[in-house]
Amino acid sequence: MGEQESVTVGVLAMPRLYALDVAIPVHMLGRLPAYRVLVCGDPRDAAPAGIAVTHTLRDAAEADILVVPGYGEPYLPVDDRHREVLRAAHARGARIVGICTGVFALADAGLLAGRTAAVHWHYADLLREAFPDVEVAGNRLLAVDGRILTSAGAAAGIDTCLYLIEADLGTVAADEAAREVVVPSARAAGEAQYSTAAPHSRRDLRATLAWADERLGEPLTVAALAEHGRMSRRTLIRHFTRETGLPPMRWVTLRRITAARRLLESTDRTVEAIAAETGFGSPVNFRTIFRREVGVNPGAYRRLRGPDGERAVEDPR
């Protein structure tokens, strides 16, 4: 991180708070020097056992990242205190994160009008009914729309933190954070919350996904994925999109980008070698796709995130 100051993360303690949705970001982000995590609220509001409010609502409004955890009875209106905190933080340019039913608070504050949002599948219809101006993303793990990140609940809070860590500190840092809490590496934002296929059924794609992950450097096509999954091309596309939230070749591209980021961050391999190892073929193709997906070219990314880089937190705007 060099000399750059840590990023302040405000966790907004709403009434009827879900303790798990607070504990996950406090632990996962709070253990990293890159972040300064504050639990912000009004001491007049009762907090769940084990959750201590340490900072004020004003501190929440001034945070760089404002996290709104899930809470009970989300159909109830948000009180003016918390609504104004959300609006003030957003107006300042903060990143806003809604976990589980915390998404309702963002919608109530008017921050999701005309935007796409993810929410725990159990509350998707309720969110659609209460806020028809929000595009609810159905069975999706995370939704990123500008500076606003929304997610499903429970374990998706871990995915939310891993997404932030990967965006701010790189893929290797996110891998290390995932290992610390004993979960797989960060999943793509567009992945599904749950699978509709029975384990070990013909439609279960886990074996095909693992097979493809081990062969990212090889030519991968929809036909090859369908052959491995023992289904037709059309069936593969339908089930793949339903189970992962992504079309097959989009999933492959994002997995290749993740693999390339790891290599740029942790090795001194040339761009040419990484392009070949991750299935992008030519360096020109690799640079074009990497810049499109990450926002910078591979060389610039390595200078920022590589072994000799500063690993500073970037402003994602």
Determine, yes or no, domain membership for 143: yes
CATH number for the domain spanning 210: value is 1.10.10.60
- Same domain, yes or no: 168 and 222: no
pTM: 0.79
Going edge to edge, which strands form the sheet with 148-151?
Answer: 35-40, 7-12, 65-68, 95-99, 148-151, 142-145
- Same domain, yes or no: 270 and 205: yes
- Same domain, yes or no: 238 and 100: no
Which residue segment(s) compose the domain that 256 sits in?
198-317
- Same domain, yes or no: 166 and 279: no
- Same domain, yes or no: 254 and 135: no
HEC readout, 3-69: CCCCEEEEEECCCCECHHHHHHHHHHHHCCCCEEEEEECCCCCCCCCCCCCCECHHHHHCCCEEEEC
121/307: higher pLDDT: 121
Q: pLDDT (tens digit, 9 = 90+) per residue, 184-242?
A: 776 666 666 665 554 444 456 889 999 999 999 999 999 999 999 999 999 999 988 88
Q: pLDDT (tens digit, 9 = 90+) per residue, 98-109?
A: 999 999 999 999
